[in-house]
Amino acid sequence: MSLDEIRAPSARADSPLAAAVMAGRWIRSAAVDDERGRRWEANPDPRGASAVTPEPWSLYSGAAGIVLFFLELAAATGHEAYLEDARAGARRLAATWREQQDLTLYHGLTGVMVALMEAGWALGDDGFEAEAAAIADRIVSRGAESGDGVRWSGEPAQRGEGGIILGLLRAAAHLGRPAYEAAAVEAGRRIARLPVPGHRFGDCADLPLDAVTPGFLAGTSGTAFLLARLYGVTGEPLFLGAARSGAAFVREVSAVTGGCAVVPHHVPQARDLHYLGFCSGSAGVARMFYELYRVAGDPGDLEWAQRLARGIVTSGAPGRRSEGYWNVACQCCGTAGLIELFVGLWAATGDGSHLDYARVLAADLMGRATGDEREGYRWYQAYRRLRPGEVTADTGYMVGAAGIGAALLHLDAAAQAEHPRRVILLPDNPFPAIPLPHVA
């Protein structure tokens, strides 16, 4: 619940765009400049620390994600000052990426690469794209050093190799470098040969040793998404068969009631714990089924994405706080991630009920914001479900105001049929980059 309940509702932002501008104002207050550029404090609020381990460069909670948000805010408002925010952040990423060792999408260099590619394109700065290419070169060379084909770790899910491969596919298309795609495909073939791809036993914090996770960031759905994407790129039956294997596992463990479905957080111990968010719940799993539909055309996969969406609606969110949808607002496991799903489904299908529900979610988010026109908006949340008393407000993309603001900007773009604009979607988002149904 917001810590600012006494503020009059009339003082709150009256549109998703206005709320995103307020988010940008608060994030700006966290800027720290030095001779190499700009970073942002994870939590400038003197009342508490960040919800996550400091990663000043990362897509998840650091500068890479905030750069993407400011690029989108500039596109939505037309204000070039936001481009300067993004430029300062990208300059520091370009100057410091060689100090980082993590290669992953959300916590490492793959996410930095994505941010620099987008910054280079939006700002017309070839230097940022050159640094992105240098990162891709390092990632490919590190993968080839294993001596076992192209691989970077033993983790096939999105939080590991899956995210790296998706980033290389994005880089190959953006930078016109076929070698990046070749490395991604080679690494993907090894993953496709794993049994029931995408889940690891006993490799998630706080889970039993024999737990199996069907979710997105650390489970079967994310790896099946990757394999479906590789099928779309190559047309190789190996990838489609492996993706179908993962999807079949997810369907088998899901709970289906009528036209609705929900996914357990892990099995066999937590079949009745159903997260709704992106990282481990319905919003992420639905992406996998939609990607399968997008590349293979089976209407049954689209129906499963719709079932998962209906499961979210019938759960009572956002008004009802369940065990799998607690006091959390962010992209990773909260309301912002749900907005991304429903805006995407609307853009993919033209079903107006999805956009209507996204507006309900956005109204809830805007009502929970803390702050005013002077200081901007932040969102207090209990990021960790098992620590409900640990309430913080963060600036980052997956965990804080930048990602919440981005989701609100994507909803705003969906309402601008007369002025369609491209939004920045991460490599694991399968929905249209211009959020308008084809019928529009």
Half-sphere exposure of 222 (CA within 13 A, CB side): 28
Dist CA 135 CA 129 (whole Å): 10
Cβ-proximal residues to 94 (8 Å cutoff; 6+ apart), any chain: 37, 116, 127, 128, 131
Chain segment 1-60, per-residue pLDDT in tens: 333 333 334 456 789 999 999 999 999 999 999 999 999 999 988 776 888 988 999 999
- Please state the rounded mean pLDDT for residues 348-360: 97
Burial 130-166 (b: 16+ CB within 10 A, else e): ebbbebbebbbebbbeeeeebbbeebbbbbbbbbbbb
Q: Are residues 217 and 314 in the same domain?
A: yes
Contact assessment for residue 200 and residue 157, using Cβ atoms and an 8 Å cutoff:
yes
Q: Are residues 167 and 245 in the same domain?
A: no
148-162, 251-265, 356-370, 407-421: which has the minimum mean pLDDT? 148-162
pLDDT band at 380 (very low <50, low <70, confident <90, very high): very high
Q: Are residues 22 and 129 in the same domain?
A: yes
Q: Are residues 67 and 130 in the same domain?
A: yes
Q: Are residues 146 and 212 in the same domain?
A: no
Q: Are residues 69 and 123 in the same domain?
A: yes
> Considering the domain boundaries, does residue 408 fall inside one?
yes
Of 325, 342, 363, the domain-final residue: 325
Chain segment 155-166, per-residue pLDDT in tens: 888 999 999 999
Contact assessment for residue 293 and residue 307, using Cβ atoms and an 8 Å cutoff:
no
Tally of structural domains, the chain? 2
> Considering the domain boundaries, does residue 307 fall inside one?
yes
CATH code: domain of residue 268: 1.50.10.20
> Considering the domain boundaries, does residue 361 fall inside one?
no
Average pLDDT, the chain: 92
pLDDT band at 323 (very low <50, low <70, confident <90, very high): very high
* Torsional sign, CA 135, 136, 139, 144: negative
Contact assessment for residue 233 and residue 181, using Cβ atoms and an 8 Å cutoff:
yes
Q: Are residues 303 and 396 in the same domain?
A: no
User: Of 143, 161, 233, 234, which is closest to residue 197 (Cα–Cα)?
Assistant: 161
Query: What's the pLDDT at 54?
Result: 87
Q: Are residues 150 and 280 in the same domain?
A: no
**Is residue 32 classed as helix, strand or coil in its secondary structure?**
strand
Of 292, 325, 358, the domain-final residue: 325
- Please state the rounded mean pLDDT for residues 66-87: 98
Query: What's the pLDDT at 204?
Result: 61
> Considering the domain boundaries, does residue 340 fall inside one?
no
- For residue 176, pLDDT beyond 90: yes
Domain residues for the domain of 88 are: 15-186+375-431
Structure tokens, 77 = 């408002």
**Is residue 34 classed as helix, strand or coil in its secondary structure?**
strand
- Between helices 126-144 and 178-192, what is the axis angle to 10°? 40
> Considering the domain boundaries, does residue 349 fall inside one?
no
Query: What's the pLDDT at 11?
Result: 55
Query: What's the pLDDT at 197?
Result: 52
Q: Are residues 28 and 172 in the same domain?
A: yes
Of 267, 300, 325, the domain-final residue: 325
Chain segment 143-153, per-residue pLDDT in tens: 987 666 789 98
> Considering the domain boundaries, does residue 365 fall inside one?
no
Q: Are residues 200 and 175 in the same domain?
A: no
- Please state the rounded mean pLDDT for residues 345-368: 97
Return the residue matching tokens 């987008």: 118
Q: Are residues 25 and 156 in the same domain?
A: yes
> Considering the domain boundaries, does residue 207 fall inside one?
yes
pLDDT band at 438 (very low <50, low <70, confident <90, very high): confident
Q: Are residues 182 and 210 in the same domain?
A: no
Residue 389, judged by CB atoms within 10 A of its CB (0-12, 13-18, 19+), counts as exposed
Query: What's the pLDDT at 282?
Result: 98
Dist CA 440 CA 429 (whole Å): 21
Chain segment 203-243, per-residue pLDDT in tens: 566 777 778 899 999 899 999 999 999 999 999 999 999 99
- For residue 198, pLDDT beyond 60: no
> Considering the domain boundaries, does residue 359 fall inside one?
no
